[in-house]
Amino acid sequence: MADLTAPATSTGSGTATRAACLQRLATALCGYADLAVTVRADGPAPCLAVRNTAIPALSETITISASGANLTYAWSWGERIADASRPDHAALAIAYVLSARGAGFSQ
């Protein structure tokens, strides 16, 4: 199992470091049954594609960026989700937003 609390600093902000942080987030998201996760580590800007399997329109691309000395997970529009050292916190926020309840769908 991946170390979900490993520090993620911008001093190691290369593509490999960012991809590793996204992989830790993907691992944390595996605990949410209704989400499908794909790590896209190829190219200069690795990202994570996440979608709700029950409602495919609920999908998001998660990126990772430098914020001062740390790396942070961010929504596709650039808003910060959580520090990359806390993939569990980011996973909870992403799971909520991509849930039917979080998106405002009645159940």
Domain residue ranges in the chain: 10-85
Residues 6 or more apart whose Cβ sits within 8 Å of residue 104? none
Under DSSP, is residue 102 helix (H, G, I), strand (E, B) or coil? Answer: coil
Whole-prediction pTM value?
A: 0.81
Looking at residue 74, its pLDDT comes to 97
Looking at residue 105, its pLDDT comes to 62
Cα gap 11→56, rounded to integer Å: 36
Q: What is the mean pLDDT of residues 25-41?
A: 93
DSSP states along 26-85: HHHHTT-TTEEEEEE-SSSS-EEEEEESSSTT-EEEEEEEEETTEEEEE-TTS-EEEETT
Q: Are 60 and 74 in contact (CB under 8 A)?
A: no
Looking at residue 106, its pLDDT comes to 55
Cα gap 94→39, rounded to integer Å: 15
Q: What is the mean pLDDT of residues 35-52?
A: 91
* Better-scored residue on pLDDT, 52 or 104: 52
List pLDDT tens digits, range 45-86: 899 999 999 999 999 999 999 878 889 999 999 999 999 999
pLDDT band for position 6 (cuts 50, 70, 90): very low
